[in-house]
Amino acid sequence: MNHPTELKYSKSHEWVKFQEDGSALIGLTDYAQDALGDLVFVNLPEAGDEVTAGEAFADVESVKAVSDVFSPVSGTVAEVNEELLDAPERLNEDPYGAWLVRVENITEQEELLDADAYIRFCEEEENG
């Protein structure tokens, strides 16, 4: 399983990529997409919506079930990846390319893990 070292990770299996302008791209980790299975629907917020660290801001649906996506940061949605609305399978195919939203005006962030700590966390979840 692939977990790039330049990203930060939440314990609810989202990745965060902080940009030079202070905004952040948020997506689902490889571990998450594998656990969820084939994704067939994505429900995203709109640009301008506020998101809150630790709270659901989107949902993704596999053939079998719906799962909330939690925001690792608080801020304002600057942009949503509308390509995913028609092609949710991109989340499975390229989890680190298929970002869900870009959040700006970040005021708060959850405790985030680096890649090594996240890999250990996933292993504990698997065996727990």
Partner 1 sequence: MELKTPLYETHVKYKGKIVPFAGYLLPVQYESGVIAEHMAVRTACGLFDVSHMGEVVCTGPDALTNLNRLLTNDYIGLQDGQARYSPMCNEAGGVVDDLIVYKVRDDCYFIVVNAANKDKDFAWMQEHVFGDAIFTDISGEVAQIALQGPAAETILRKLAAEEAIPQHYYSAEFHRQVGGIDCIVSRTGYTGEDGFEFYLAPGEAPRLWELLLETGRDEGLIPCGLGARDTLRLEAAMPLYGHEMDDTITPLEAGLGMFVKMTKDDFIGKAVLEAKGAPSRRRVGLRVTGRGIIREHAEVYDGTTRIGVTTSGTHCPYLKAPAAMALLDNAYTAAGTAVEVDVRGRRVAAEVVKLPFYRRAR
Our finding on whether 61 is near partner 1 (CB under 8 A) is: yes
Among 6, 63, 93, 94, binds partner 1 (CB under 8 A): 63
Instruction: Tell me whether residue 55 or residue 59 sits nearer to partner 1 (CB atom).
Output: 59
Q: Which two tokens stand for residue 40?
A: 């067939």
Q: Where are the alpha helices (DSSP H) in 13-114?
A: 30-36, 83-86, 90-93
Dist CA 59 CA 14 (whole Å): 12
What is the DSSP-derived secondary structure letter of residue 54?
T
Q: Which amino acid is at 36?
A: L
Contacts of 36 (CB under 8 A, 6+ apart): 28, 60, 62, 65, 67
Our finding on whether 93 is near partner 1 (CB under 8 A) is: no
Q: Which region, judged by CB under 8 A, interacts with partner 1, from 46-54, 57-65, 96-104, 119-127? A: 57-65
Q: Considering only residues 22 through 51, tell me which ones interact with partner 1, judged by CB under 8 A.
A: 37-38, 40-41, 43
Comparing C-alpha atoms, which of 5, 6, 7, 15 is closest to residue 91? 15
Among 5, 21, 64, 126, binds partner 1 (CB under 8 A): 64
Our finding on whether 117 is near partner 1 (CB under 8 A) is: no
Binding site for partner 1 (CB under 8 A): 37-38, 40-41, 43, 59, 61-64, 66
